[in-house]
Amino acid sequence: MTTQYTHPSVVAPYPGAPRTGEVPLLPPMPPMQQQVPPGYPPAQPPRKSKGGLITAAIVGAAAIALTAGAIGGLIGNHMATAPTAAAPAAPPAPTAEQVHVATVDLCTRFAAGDRAMPSPQNTGFDVIPSYNYIAEALRDNPAADNAIRDAVGESLKLARDQAAHFSNTPAKGAIQPANGWTVDAANAADQRVWDLCKAYGG
């Protein structure tokens, strides 16, 4: 009689399948969520205290203010102790030649402006063009002879008063036309300029 051998099966059972004689395992359960009774809000995580943040902000602002104050104090102290700049030196006095050239230009332009004025004058338009021409000559020649400059200035003041007189504008508020202008005073001022310019020898 021959002996028969029974060989174990080469095919392994399915990995998830229970082996013979084993109890099958249940699949894992999802984690349970906390049940909240109806009518109550879910619990909030605890809040972090903001006190530390506020304190840090206050300390930072104080440090910035102190730093700015210290820098401002240093700058102010430096400015206070810095030597002041010397006043600009006065321009040098004009030479005799410069005075002569300026006086000749002023007198020549005065004569041209005075002769261009119609005679007699009836309106401000008869006065203002010559007034502007002579006033520009006076501004252009600050080095001219002082006596002649003063005489031209007085002549211009009376010409300005004459133009205001011709406007016939009544005095009101800031409008105050000259009321002391006379033909004789204006002619005397003009004649003084003519006399000084003719007599100038430079």
Closest CA to 130 of 120, 145, 147, 118: 118
pLDDT given for residue 193 in this prediction: 97
The answer to the question of residue 188 being in a domain is: yes
The answer to the question of residue 164 being in a domain is: yes
Give CA–CA dist 176/169, Å, rounded. Answer: 8
The answer to the question of residue 47 being in a domain is: no
The answer to the question of residue 148 being in a domain is: yes
* Local structure of 175: helix, strand or coil: strand
Q: What is the dihedral of CA 149, 196, 134, 176, to 10 degrees?
A: 70
Give CA–CA dist 143/11, Å, rounded. Answer: 129
Tell me phi and psi for residue 29, to 5 degrees: -90, 145
The answer to the question of residue 182 being in a domain is: yes
Average pLDDT by stretches of 10, the chain with 202 residues: 57 55 60 60 61 67 70 67 69 92 97 94 92 97 96 96 90 87 93 96 74
pLDDT given for residue 177 in this prediction: 85
The answer to the question of residue 2 being in a domain is: no
Bridge partners (DSSP) of residue 175 are: 172
pLDDT given for residue 72 in this prediction: 72
Quote the distance between the C-alpha of residue 196 and its chain's center: 49
Q: Domain containing 109: what range?
A: 96-199
The answer to the question of residue 190 being in a domain is: yes
Give CA–CA dist 145/202, Å, rounded. Answer: 9
pLDDT given for residue 168 in this prediction: 87
Indicate if the alpha-carbon torsion angle 50, 56, 57, 62 is positive or negative.
positive
Sequence letter at residue 6? T
Q: Structural domain tally of the chain?
A: 1
Closest CA to 135 of 123, 152, 111, 118: 152
Give CA–CA dist 189/196, Å, rounded. Answer: 11
Tokens of 82: 């810095």
